[in-house]
Structure 1
Amino acid sequence: MKLRSLRAVAVLAVGAAFALSGCSFKSTVSKEELEKQSFDVLTKMAGEEPAEVECPGPIDGEVGAKTRCVLTAKDGGRIGYTIEITSYEDNRGKMVVQVDETPMPPAQGNAGT
């Protein structure tokens, strides 16, 4: 995956549906679910799979909750993206994935490769 593929659609926000987990008082979206859903959305956006997506942890399953994640392309390039919960009802939710316009600097240890 080339980062330019994602930058070309960076201003687009793509939605994905997901199931929320948790008790009736507090729902969360797990780290694994965030990564799975964003992996699928980003693959559709770019037309090919990234090498990796990584989110820091779970987020509250409530409208407006946001988190920052990082996509690593197969060529080693990295770009950040934001996930925002846009709706949820009956333990089902929708999120929007917004890709940054500018790539991140190379990860330490990857400089010059």
Structure 2
Amino acid sequence: MTIARLPVATWSLSAVAACALLVGCSASVNVGNSEPKLSSDKLATTVSEKLAATTGQPKPDITCPEDLVGKVGTTTRCTLTAKDGSTLGVSATVTSVDGKKINFDIKADETASPAAN
């Protein structure tokens, strides 16, 4: 009987997705400007750190194309890229805003996209 083995990058991506789907992640960030908004770079860093802490895996490479506006219900899509080039979509959705503190949930998509050829 042959046992298929997943490459480490695929396993790591699967672990992040499974944990983010099963456990879910939440984060809170204080922002220092007049309109509550989290920069795309800070959002990517926060999502990466939160997923790493939740899964026990190294921090994944996350990119977020836009800032997260501090308005309940606002969602921004980010992308997790594994070492093998496969990608996984990640959503950050604002759950509450307390002054300049933005609270948001993080949820990974159920399936990854394979690396481009």
**Same fold flag (TM > 0.5):** yes
Larger Rg: 2
CA distance in 1, matches of 2:60, 2:49: 12
The residue type equivalent to 1:87 in the other structure is: S
Paired with 1:76 and 1:50, the residues of 2 have a C-alpha distance of 15
User: Deviation digits for residues 35-84 of structure 1, max 9, x if unmatched?
Assistant: 11101111123322245110002121111111000011233321111001
After TM superposition, what 4+ stretches of structure 1 lie above 3 angstroms from structure 2?
Answer: none
For this pair of structures, how many residues does the alignment match? 106
Superposition RMSD in Å: 1.7
Structure-to-structure mapping, 1:34-49, within 5 angstroms = 34-49=43-58
Aligned pairs for 1:28-107 (under 5 A) are 28-106=37-115
Q: TM-score, normalised by structure 1?
A: 0.82
Give structure 2 stretches of 5+ with no counterpart: 1-8
Contact 2:63 2:80 in 1 (8 A): yes
Determine the C-alpha separation between the residues in 2 that align with 1:51 and 1:15: 16
TM-score after normalising by structure 2: 0.79
Identical counterparts, % of pairs: 27
